[in-house]
Amino acid sequence: MRLPRRAALRLPRTEPIESAVLRWNLELFCIGETVAVPLFRRMLRGTTQPQARRLIRRIVADEARHRDFGWSLLDSLLDGPWGGSARAQLVEQLPGALARIKLAYGGESSTLPAESRAWGHLAPEEYGEQ
């Protein structure tokens, strides 16, 4: 079996690396992981299956570390030599990033069986409550 060349695995860059890092950090770590922590805590409250409880506890801890990493990285980006442009980019990108995360976690009202809740599932509308 022949492995692909490392260079072939890279996506073409259409923006400066600093812009890409800021954009992905904002959405994935700062917003996404910040939203994920209370969401998984909420899932844990209704979870009675021991295996699911262990898994969700681990996820909560991991998501909290990811969130903290994102905010620390953002602080570093804003304090560094690229800070002025980073602030301008944040102002521009924040509304869209917030709208995308809200859209991802919103949902129609539905009834969820007790068995599903025991495994940590939430009804779609409960995602939007976090």
Tens of each residue's pLDDT in the chain, 130 residues: 787 776 676 767 788 888 889 999 999 999 999 999 999 999 999 899 999 999 999 999 999 999 999 999 999 999 988 888 999 999 999 999 998 888 777 666 667 788 888 888 777 777 766 5
Cα distance between the two ends of the chain: 47
Tokens 């570093």 appear where? 76
User: Number of helices and strands (H, E) in the chain?
Assistant: 6, 0
Tokens 């620390």 appear where? 72
Quote the Cα angle for 27-97-15, to 5°: 70
Q: What pTM was computed for the model?
A: 0.75
